[in-house]
Each structure stands twice: as C-alpha cells, then as structure tokens.
Amino acid sequence: MKRKLLLSDTLRVALLSVLLLLGSAGIDAQSTAPQTASAASVSPVSATQAQRFTLANGMTLIVRPDRRAPTAVHMLWVRVGSIDEVDGTSGVAHVLEHMLFKGTPDLKPGEFSHRIAALGGRENAFTSRDATAYHQQVPAHRIEDVMRLEADRFARNQWPDEEFWRELAVVKEERLQVVEELPRARLFEALKAMAFQASPVRRPIIGWMSDIEAMTPQDVRDFYQRWYVPGNAALVIVGDVDVQQVRAQAEQHFGTLAARAVPPRKPRDEPEQTGPRRLEYRAAVDQSLVVLAYKVPRWTGGDDPANQDALALAVLAAVLDGHSGARLERALVRAVGPGGRRSADSVEAFYGLMGRGPQLFFLSAVPAQGVGTQAVEAALKAELARIARDGISPAELARVKTQWMAAEVFQLDSMFNQARELGNDWINGLDVDAGERLMTALRGVTAAQVQSVAQRYFSERQLNTAVLLPDPDRRAGALAARPIDPAR
C-alpha cells in the first residue's frame, strides 16, 4: 500500500512513474546509427535551462546549470526496467541494478561506493517499471571523477558468480520484507496480474519469488549485454556546472564507449477488457481494504483527445484526493454534510499519468469499523458518479491548479528532483521542456473536461476490483508462529 499522497506528491509521482514512477515515443528512433557530435541536436535555451545533446556513440546528455550551491547531481538513466523482462526472469532488471555495485576489472565489489564517499558525495540507484537509474550528488568540481567511475561500470561491469549468489540472497530478503510479509503489497501485486493479461506491466518490478530463486548469473549478464548500450542511456547533470565543459567531459568518458544497436522492442499490446474482473485476497490482517482499478489512457505529450483526457484524469485524481479536504476525504472519512455517515478510515485516489505501458486509475479505501466492503465500494463509485452527473466547482479546479503551481516551484528547489524529472521525461520520449509544457497543459484543463472523463472512463467493463479480507484462520496461524519475547 503506498503512503498517503498530498497534492504536490500526486503530481510529482505522476510526472515520475516509482516511482514512479514512467510514452514510447522516440524509443525506436534510437536503434538507428548514432549521430556524430557535430550532428548532435541541441535545444535552443537560455543559460539556466536544460540543454540536450547526443554524444558520438548515440548516448544522450542533458545538462541544466543551477548555481545556487557548489554541488551537482549526476544521474545515469538506462531505458530498461521490468517492462522489458520476459516470463521466467522477472526481477532481472532489479538484480542487475544491485550487481552494478559489484565491480569492474579495476574496482572490487563495493569499491565504487567507497570512492564516491571519498569524493564527499552520496549515491544510490533504483529500478522502476520503465527504467533503471544510478545517481550521485557530489561537490561540483568532482563531477568528472564521477563520470569516470560511472562510465567504467556502465561499460565494464563484471563480478564472480559467488558475488551474485550472495547478492541474490539480499534481493530475496528484500522481496520478503517489502512484499511477502505485507498483505496489502501482495494484494496490489495480485491486482495488476489480474488486470493485465499480455502487457508486461502485470509482473512485479522486484520479480516473482520463484523467478528470483531460479535466476542464474548468466541471466543477469545476458540482460546487461542486451540493454546497457550507449544509445539506450542518458546522462543527466544538474548543478553548478558549465554546460560546454560538462559536454566535453561526457564526450571523453561516455562518448568514447563502443556504440551498439539498441535491441528492438516487440509490441505486447493488452487485449481489450470486455467485463469486470474481481479477486479476494485473504490474509492475517485486522482491517479490510477495497481497491478499484480502471484502465485509462496515458499522457504522451501530444494534443490528441487521448492526451487531453489523460490531463483531465490527473485533475480528477487531485479533486478526489489531492489535499486534506478533497472529496473522498470529506464524503467517506469525515462524512461532511447533512445525514453524512462515516464509511472509511482512510481513502486514496491515484493515477500515474504517464509511462511506457498502460495506466490504471486507482481508488482505495479502508472500511470503518462496522462497515462492509461492499458499502465502501459503493461509496467510492458514488463519488465518481456524482462528478459525472454534477461536475466540479470552479473553486475546486482553482485550488488544484494553484497547489500544483506552488508544488512545482518547491520541487525545483531540489537538484535531485530536477534531474529525476529530466530523466523521466527522456525515458518517456519527451523533450527537456516537457515539465513546463505539462504544467501549461494542466492549467488549461476545464471543469467540463473533468466531468467528461468521469462520465466515460469508469464503467464496470473496465473495472478491476481487489478486496483484502481478514482471515481468522491465517491470523491464528500467524500468532501461533510468532516467537515468544522472553522479556515479556
């Protein structure tokens, strides 16, 4: 179960995809022969705006100067995530992320992290459905040292088999902690597997446990050789840097890596859903949980009707659950209004907005004591129906837009958030001004558009419902298996 999102977080998660969080435009184009540096495409921008270049081997470089502090963020993005995996090796993108820290011909396992720390920096990495990213923040004058280290492990990652088996045990424990031992996480995992039949988004990012247990060192090495190619990667630098100096350094350390073709991606389109789907998940929990997931379009940056609908759906999610006084909170948790009856302890609405695969619009609620799951389900649907029938007020629309604008300003105070937004936009085939264009487009969404999507996208035909139910037998078994604390 994801944490409660405020309005600013809702937009940011939508912009990202981990989250985030992650269209396909521009992916196939990178399979062609790489451009030379002289033919690189550069966005016409001012000195403080992001600029985009193509290095000699096809790798993308994005640089945004930010002079407010003598520091810089270095992020290497690879356009590969769980969406690029195949059945039997789910989780391999995430395992590979772990193995990138395990050495090169010149670095021992763990030495990469030690060297970043010695530079006065901090570093980490993450894998999402759409991408894998490696990031460091260091004093600005050490950015070339980071480039040298990152280019080395991107091109020459290697490790002994015994190092793989040790790290695989870490990944299995990670799955136990973040999925297996959390019934709500298992529910969402089962829901996605039910909602999608052909699309690879049906598989969990961390992988099925059976696939992790059966994974071999060669599975990971093959995935690395296939996808970690310059034309499938982007280097994003944000901070107190000179654009042309960074470009020259990137050409020296990354642009000289051997160019290879980006493998073609086969379409795995999801068949049309023609009726509602439902599952019940029973576990050792104290409270039930109801989740409704509707299939909706994603935003790819265009001006066509589907893109306009995606923007309106983002506004709808914020109207429902973008702030503490939003509609779902008032109607189900606070029971505001004459004759109101409190039906939920907590509620959420979430829509991913963009990514390389299909998107879902989620509504969820934890029933209040004495309230059944069917009643909560009906209450969630009633709020959608009310907007479809009556629309939203000008005040609701204005509040959403005002908070979004303020959130964007605050988010840009972070160099890491700037780099992450630029990288996610690149992953989705968007240009360096996508964030600004998105905010402009969101400002143009009307109340009529929000009412229209509420009327058209929330039919039973597109509905996937998951209900988490307390199971007394499982709870009794869990209590019996719990070790006795001798201190009690």
- Render pLDDT for 374-424 as a digit per residue (tens, 0 to 9): 999 999 999 999 999 999 999 999 999 888 878 877 878 899 999 999 999
Q: What is the pLDDT of residue 9?
A: 35
Average pLDDT value for residue range 429-447: 93
Which range of 7-11, 33-37, 299-303, 450-454 scores highest in mean pLDDT? It is 450-454
For 34-253, CATH gives: 3.30.830.10
Task: Please tell me the total number of residues recorded for the chain in this structure.
Answer: 488
Model pLDDT for residues 175-221, shown as the tens digit of each residue: 999 999 999 999 999 999 999 999 999 999 999 999 999 999 999 99
**pLDDT higher than 60, residue 488:** no
Residue 19 confidence class, pLDDT cut points 50, 70, 90: very low
Q: How confident is the model at residue 265 (pLDDT cuts 50, 70, 90)?
A: very high
Q: Is the pLDDT of residue 158 over 70?
A: yes
Where along the chain do the CATH 3.30.830.10 domains lie? Answer: 34-253, 277-477
Q: Which value, to the nearest 10 degrees, does the dihedral of the CA atoms of residues 195, 197, 200, 203 take?
A: 60
Sign of CA dihedral 238, 241, 242, 246: negative
Q: How confident is the model at residue 337 (pLDDT cuts 50, 70, 90)?
A: low
pLDDT for 130 beyond 50: yes
User: Average pLDDT in the 303-314 region?
Assistant: 96
**pTM, to two decimals:** 0.86
Q: Are strands 277-283 and 463-470 parallel, antiparallel or unpaired?
A: parallel
Fold of the CATH domain 277-477: Cytochrome Bc1 Complex; Chain A, domain 1 (3.30.830)
In which band, very low, low, confident or very high, does the pLDDT at 473 lie, cut at 50, 70 and 90? confident
- Binned at pLDDT 50, 70 and 90, residue 340 comes out as low
How far is it, in rounded angstroms, from Cα 217 to Cα 132? 19
Render pLDDT for 109-125 as a digit per residue (tens, 0 to 9): 999 999 999 999 999 99
pLDDT at position 339: 61
Active site residues: 97
467 band by pLDDT with thresholds 50, 70 and 90: very high
| CA-based nearest residue to 136, from 454, 126, 49, 128 | 126
Q: Which two three-digit tokens encode residue 451? A: 């009412």
Structure tokens at 65: 């100067």
Where does residue 348 rank: exposed (0-12), middle (13-18), buried (19+ CB within 10 A)?
buried
What percentage of residues in the chain have a pLDDT greater than 70? 86
Q: Angle CA(12)–CA(62)–CA(401) in degrees, nearest 5?
A: 25
Q: Are 328 and 261 in contact (CB under 8 A)?
A: no
